[in-house]
Amino acid sequence: MRPEEILLHAPLEGRSVYQFTCPACLAPVEKPADRKIVALLVSAGVDLATRETLLGEAGEALLPPEPLEPMDTPPEGRAFSVDDLLDFHFLLLDDRHIEEFLESQA
């Protein structure tokens, strides 16, 4: 995990916490941070978070999402299915397929 993927909130008074998105399940995670943890995170390059970038108590996204424009018409083609998701998952695990895709994009 890179330092820019961690949010650190260390107020002068009150509870310090650090927050990140779990890379395995993509769920927001919040952990308490004592003085030693704050010092370690700052020394590793983690910036102090602003109030706007902190997760809420209900676990909203790390940054507020951009509002989506409503679509006038639904997209063409069939809906994305669970089978499509599984196929995509296995394609992402195939290094050869990823290399071929990246070469075709160059």
Per-residue pLDDT tens digits for 27-60: 889 999 988 898 889 888 888 875 555 555 444 5
Residue 80 placed within a domain: no
CA distance 14 to 80: 46
End-to-end Cα separation, the chain, in angstroms: 27
Residue 24 placed within a domain: yes
* pLDDT of 15 strictly over 70: yes
Instruction: State mean pLDDT over 2-30.
Output: 86
Instruction: Report the candidate in 58, 4, 71, 50 with the shortest Cα–Cα distance to residue 27.
Output: 58
Q: How many domains does the chain have?
A: 1
Q: What pTM was computed for the model? A: 0.46
Residue 71 placed within a domain: no
Residue 14 placed within a domain: yes
Residue 19 placed within a domain: yes
* pLDDT of 63 strictly over 80: no
CA distance 56 to 91: 35
Name the more confident of 5 and 75.
Answer: 5
Residue 60 placed within a domain: no
The residues that bridge with 32 in the sheet, in sequence order, are 17
CA distance 56 to 51: 10
